[in-house]
Amino acid sequence: MTTQQRTPLPDSIRTNGATPNPWWANAVVYQIYPRSFQDTNGDGFGDLKGITSRLDYLADLGVDVLWLSPVYKSPQDDNGYDIADYQDIDPLFGTLADMDELIAEAHRRGIKIVMDLVVNHTSDEHAWFQASRNPDDPHADWYWWRPARPGHEPGTPGAEPNRWGSYFGGSAWQYDPQRGEYYLHQFSRKQPDLNWENPAVRRAVYDMMNWWLDRGIDGFRMDVITLISKRTDENGKLPGEDGSQIADLPVGEEGYSNPNPFCADGPRQDEFLAEMHREVFAQRSGFLTVGEAPGISAERNEHITDPANGELDMLFLFEHVDFDCDGVKWKPLPLDLPGLKRIFASYERAVEDRGWTALFTGNHDQPRVVSRWGDDSTEALRVASAKALALMLHLHRGTPYIYQGEELGMTNAYFTSLDQYRDLESLNAYRQRVEEAHVQSPESMMAGLAARSRDNARTPMQWDDSRFAGFTAPDAPVEPWIAVNPNHTAINAAAQAHDPDSVHAFYKRLIALRHEQPVVAAGDWTLLAQDDPRVYAFTRSLNDVGADDAIDNAGDAGDDAAAAGCARRLLTVVNLSGESADLPADAVALLRDDDVDASRVLIATGSDADAVTALAAGRLAPWQGFVVRL
């Protein structure tokens, strides 16, 4: 099922508060990391032609939107998130003609294309930045340039304008001898931050966005878009600068202070996003905008995604993927399920009346969820826990995002030596934490990388059991840019394609359920058994008018079976542990004196009969989950 085949939700079913309901209200998005998806020319890197060659697989899966990580021209310091030319394709991935072909072929299959947009920063090789190195050039104020701290020799330790650290390790300031000043980079030193205070910067960004939309893409995923507004004092000084009226935070264990509280959700954030909407999207329809939102609370998500405010359609919030560690991501902790439920509940409550949420557990920056919160120690447990985690996420209210390979239950790579890693963040973190600051042992850090490195999500897509997993030809002259996970011989798309009990088949059913059941896409969400340490349970419900209109819509479309099967209220129960667990009392109360047979089971991680047996016994097997009609 594709975008063209989905039945739109009737306006009596409230989604994000807009009227009519947006087309994406019951859509599913699939993220592609192009360099790791499909290589067609044997150079070891995925490419645009490779994505086009796999569109039938994606259409069969049922997804409605493809989000592409960056394919723009780039030095690839941060795998394309350092853009040197926004209006050209990097030769690594192909050409603009290849991009046009991908857009056309995707649209022919009813699939929309969303591009990654990285405008908090550019590459230091971008023409804008190169021009800004001349203080007399019109681009001189397009980035955050600052002189050395008074009394210090420029370019020497301690001369940085303040003590901010980069998220990728080291100082957030880099000295440029040509200009004789420092520039701010919250990420790599090759990713200087754009100065969004400058109207010319914003105009150039909006023009570029319009150029891509005119070319036929369907929207943008906006990288760290909530970092574009920095907090300054009345004289334009950043916190901690010499003479600034705003004090910086204390220096941490690695020798730097944290810029996030001063750069995330800054004072002009709403103004900039509203201006972007007016200049790019206000006269268009059919697009989707989703922002990566570090530092944004659930409450702020409501404001930013409220259509009345004209900012963004949805945001990626990060509290749920940041809380399971001991201070830093490299010291992971076991999943605290009640804590996870509290976080998801805060997301859902914030958009009860208006706004929308993006649902995800994996992406190119996160480890594989089945290795993180599931159990990949055996094949049976991997399959069971991958299905359980998928069921938990996809039955929430919002728009689900599937990261490539997640639908196969792909696992972490579990690299054992540093030279196997390619990720800039991981390599820099090891150097800074182990070799420079001495705050973590080599053994502990390697364990942290194995659990949380971004490279865990970036190993090649596992298409089949051949030498390079079908990502590139078995006899390709160049090996893939990063090693293929050895378990691809057992975990791959070809092995699961015709297996009705596979993770892949389960994802197809989840996607179809969202398309077919309005209550899954937009029904009210109510958490049960908040403090249960093993079971995640909640209900979904539609008001009577919305349910009646959904039934009428299906009937009008000639689908009598869909009309008869339209659910008004659902109970979702998932055991997210490797131990048996009692059915929560709240769930039992909803089912009391009410026989549940297999006809009322909409989807289950095992068989429908097993779900009925579990309900009758009041006991869930490890990683068992199901959805029943109430």
Quick one: tokens of 165?
């650290």
Burial 89-115 (b: 16+ CB within 10 A, else e): bbebbbeeebbebbbebbeeeebbbbb
Report the alpha-carbon distance of residue 146 to residue 159 in Å, rounded: 11
Quick one: tokens of 365?
């920056």
Burial class (CB in 10 A: 0-12, 13-18, 19+), 46: buried
DSSP 154: T
Report the alpha-carbon distance of residue 311 to residue 290 in Å, rounded: 10
CA 93 and chain centroid, separation: 21
Report the alpha-carbon distance of residue 628 to residue 608 in Å, rounded: 10
Residue in the structure block whose two tokens are 């009640």: 338
Quick one: tokens of 499?
């297996």
* Three-state DSSP class for residue 550: helix
Report the alpha-carbon distance of residue 29 to residue 40 in Å, rounded: 24
DSSP 436: I
Catalytic-residue membership of 78: no
Residues linked to residue 314 through DSSP beta bridges, in sequence order: 290
Quick one: tokens of 355?
């706004």
Residue from 39, 77, 218, 292 carrying the catalytic annotation? 292
Question: Is residue 538 a contact partner of residue 523, using CB atoms and an 8 Å limit?
Answer: no
Q: How far is CA 211 from CA 45, 67, 88, 215, in A?
A: 27, 18, 11, 6
Residue in the structure block whose two tokens are 């930045």: 129
Residue from 64, 223, 311, 455 carrying the catalytic annotation? 223
Report the alpha-carbon distance of residue 241 to residue 144 in Å, rounded: 13
Catalytic-residue membership of 223: yes
Question: Is residue 47 a contact partner of residue 559, using CB atoms and an 8 Å limit?
Answer: no
Largest CA distance in the chain: 80
Residue type, 282: A
Question: Is residue 318 a contact partner of residue 365, using CB atoms and an 8 Å limit?
Answer: no
Report the alpha-carbon distance of residue 348 to residue 357 in Å, rounded: 7
Nearest of 409, 501, 425 to residue 461 by alpha carbon: 409
Residues linked to residue 628 through DSSP beta bridges, in sequence order: 571, 601
Question: E strands within 101-161?
Answer: 112-117, 145-146
Catalytic center residues: 223, 292
